[in-house]
Amino acid sequence: MTPGDVDLKVVGDRLRIVATSLADLRGIPHGSFDEFASDRRNPLASDAALRRALEALFDVARHLLAKAKGLAGLEY
């Protein structure tokens, strides 16, 4: 793959997903483990928000490497 222009819309969209996911994580009770574990949905929601944030960050990194350096086919 040959280097090209970085699509700032792609980068911005993914970074908004990261920001939203972090806001979701901040909204989950985290004062103590007992408070966190008192609702079994908390670990599930935390997992989903963390996964979304990480996937979006990896997408940004893959996009930047593909466009800036011409490295294609990176998988996570």
* Cα torsion angle, 55, 65, 2, 13, sign: positive
Tell me how far CA of residue 63 lies from CA of 9, 16, 21, 35, 41, in angstroms. Answer: 11, 15, 20, 39, 33
């920001």: which residue's tokens?
A: 19
**Mean pLDDT for each 10-residue chunk of the chain (76 residues)?**
81 97 95 94 97 96 84 66
Q: What distance in Å separates the CA atoms of residue 42 and residue 9, rounded to the nearest whole number?
A: 32
Q: What is the pLDDT at residue 17?
A: 98
